[in-house]
Amino acid sequence: MKSDKELSDYLDNQIKEIRQKVGGKKVLLALSGGVDSSVCASLLSKAIPGQLVCIFVDHGFMRQDEGDQIAEVFSRHRLRLVRVNAQKRFVGKLKGITDPEAKRKIIGEEFIRVFEEEAAKLGDIPFLAQGTIYPDIAESGGKHGKVIKSHHNVGGLPKNLAFSSLVEPLAALYKDEVRALGKKLALPPFLVNRQPFPGPGLAVRVIGEVTAKKLELLRKADAIVREELDSLKNRPDQYFAILTDTVSVGVKNNKRVCENVIAIRAVITNDFMTCDYAPLPHKVLSRISSRITGEIPSLCRVVYDITSKPPATVEWE
């Protein structure tokens, strides 16, 4: 982990290098709202104010209010933000799809199509920026060559887009250093401290077919889980809700109902390569369950996942 002084020097050096490389030309960035792309956008807007164009593809699979929060944060930066509201388009593409890997591929492909369409409307932008960090490069086997290889968490940017050069101001940093740099750039905690979140978002946390109704149920349940666990003194490293495809019998308003089961996942880990389930207090789990079943009329059963990794993964897909 670089010291505060080293991060300050790194920031100053990157600003100088970006200005020298880009000059007065524009830069295009796919803004996902994740830690890396958000810090990258903030750094670039500081280095070349008014020259950065961010395309934020809102696929409809984000957590509660996140799309609006991201748009609000970056509306205060000196950049152009193009928000594409494509929720219906993405959900439509997943109609009848239950396999999680198929969901990922469809969402990744559709993201590329939307990005291509929006980029084509913007005219000639010679530079493409990405929030690539050092582990991305290491896992790819070395430095980038002439071919642009995307590390965007949705599934990759179009490989045939005509950019003269790539701008990757975070390429020498690890994740904890990126978070520290985000704080230095005054990004809000909900972005800087954002938990790992799959590129396809809630689409892979809805087990089985994805529908607008299921997404809304999961958003509400997930918001309750995060609100309750956010308030703990010793919080797990990652926590979220899953809408399972298991239907369970319950009783609501003295009537028999059959509804999907909500599962809660909370883990403690150092590197996410392995993890243990978080031993949450029973009173916390009880409060979460009572809130979910009490505040969301169509949910009547909540379970807690007590499986470590391995044998389980963090996600349920």
Does 149 have pLDDT greater than 60? Answer: no
Measure the N-to-C terminal CA separation of the chain; round to a whole number of Å: 33
Coil/strand/helix, residue 129: strand
Q: How many CB atoms lie within 10 A of CB 253?
A: 6
The length of the chain in residues reads 317
pLDDT, tens only, 273-293 = 899 999 999 999 999 999 999
Model confidence band, residue 317 (pLDDT cutoffs 50, 70, 90):
confident
Helix axes 282-295, 212-230, angle to 10 degrees: 150
Question: How far is the C-alpha of 236 from the C-alpha of 163, rounded, in Å?
Answer: 41
Q: Where are the alpha helices (DSSP H) in 4-124?
A: 4-22, 35-47, 66-74, 87-93, 100-120
- Which whole number is the average pLDDT over 70-92? 95
Beta bridge partners of 239: 266
Q: Give the per-residue pLDDT at 116.
A: 86
Residue 54 burial by Cβ neighbours in a 10 Å radius (0-12, 13-18, 19+): buried
Q: Is the pLDDT of residue 153 over 50?
A: no
- Structural domains of the chain sorted by starting position, each given as residue range(s) with its CATH number in brackets: 4-192 (3.40.50.620), 205-304 (3.30.300.10)
DSSP state of 253: T
Residues pairing with 303 in the sheet:
263
Collapsed DSSP state (helix, strand, coil) of residue 280: coil
CA-CA distance, 40 to 62, in Å (whole number)?
20
| pLDDT over 90 (residue 298) | no
User: Exposed/middle/buried for 87, CB within 10 Å: 0-12, 13-18, 19+?
Assistant: middle
Of the pLDDT bands very low, low, confident and very high (cuts 50, 70, 90), residue 81 is very high
**Strand pairing report for 27-30 and 165-167:** unpaired
Does residue 292 contact residue 299 with C-beta atoms inside 8 Å?
yes
Helix (H, G, I), strand (E, B) or coil at 270: coil
What is the pLDDT confidence band of residue 271, given thresholds at 50, 70 and 90?
Answer: confident
Tens digit of each residue's pLDDT (9 = 90 or more) over 60-80: 999 999 999 999 999 999 999
Question: Worst-scoring range by mean pLDDT, 94-98, 153-157, 192-196, 245-249?
Answer: 153-157
